[in-house]
Amino acid sequence: MRYLLILEYDGSAYSGWQRQKNAPSVQETVEEAIRVLTGEKNVLFASGRTDAGVHAAGQAAHFDTGKELDIGKFRYSLNALLPEDVKAVGMAKVPDDFHAQYSAKRKTYSYSIYVSRTPSPLRRRRFTRVTPPFDVAAFAAAAGLFEGRHDFKAFGNTGSGVKTTERVIYSAEVKSAGDEVVLYLTGNGFLYNMVRVIAGVLVRIACGKMPVDEIEKMFRDGIRSKGVKTMPPNGLTLEKVFYSELSLSGAAPEGADEGERFSE
């Protein structure tokens, strides 16, 4: 039998999602807690890996077990075993042909920054600080240029072999309040570090260090413009993974709208 978990975690203390020999990982942490409850050596398959220091509000991962689980009781017991920075916020039984990675239709990531000359200790784990001047309107306008189907070769980093660097961004939204600015990207897939590189491009534009037409040039030439850096991992959060309603009925986190979170 196959079960899906929706996981929320603060990635600050972890080497990333994937198991590591000499460092704590989110995968190992959750797998060990599941093993205590099932008595089996269960393997978690995630929608995708997150790097060290990256967070998740809705990471999806499935595992197989030979036991029929009471979902409510199992998730309660699992959360009792998990540390405070990793919790299962949703769970569902899914078909045997469901796969957390290959069944995913699209994902939403966010990148959070705050604009200040003074570091904020309380935000250091979830936000990246950018010093002013910073044009929020320019940041938002440039973000819209990433919507649609593009070759994102210039916006990814090496680290995983992919057949094509073409991806579709369905929406690029920017929300701001006070000195905080959050970029939300929803797409059918993302290259390694793609969101962090896009955020780096937008920050340079907003700070007046790069003309906005450099985005089109990077799309056309497939070469990253000089000075564009991959933003730090702490500002990145995997927000949602979208599947079909049929596969994930009942898996929405408490207090969330199931259709909004999981429908294509």
Q: Helix 136-143 vs helix 194-206: angle between axes, to the nearest 10 degrees?
A: 140
Q: CB 31: neighbour CB atoms within 10 A?
A: 17
Residues contacting residue 246 through CB under 8 Å, at least 6 positions apart: none
Where are the strands (E) in 145-235, listed by range? 148-151, 166-177, 180-187
Residues contacting residue 115 through CB under 8 Å, at least 6 positions apart: 129, 130, 131, 132, 134, 179, 180, 181
- Residues shown for the chain: 264
**Which run of H or of E encompasses 29?**
helix 26-38
Per-residue burial over 162-180, b = 16 or more CB atoms within 10 Å of its CB, e = otherwise: eeeeebebeebebeeeebe
Residues belonging to the active site: 51
- Tokens for 191, please give them: 């290259």
Residues contacting residue 81 through CB under 8 Å, at least 6 positions apart: 33, 36, 37
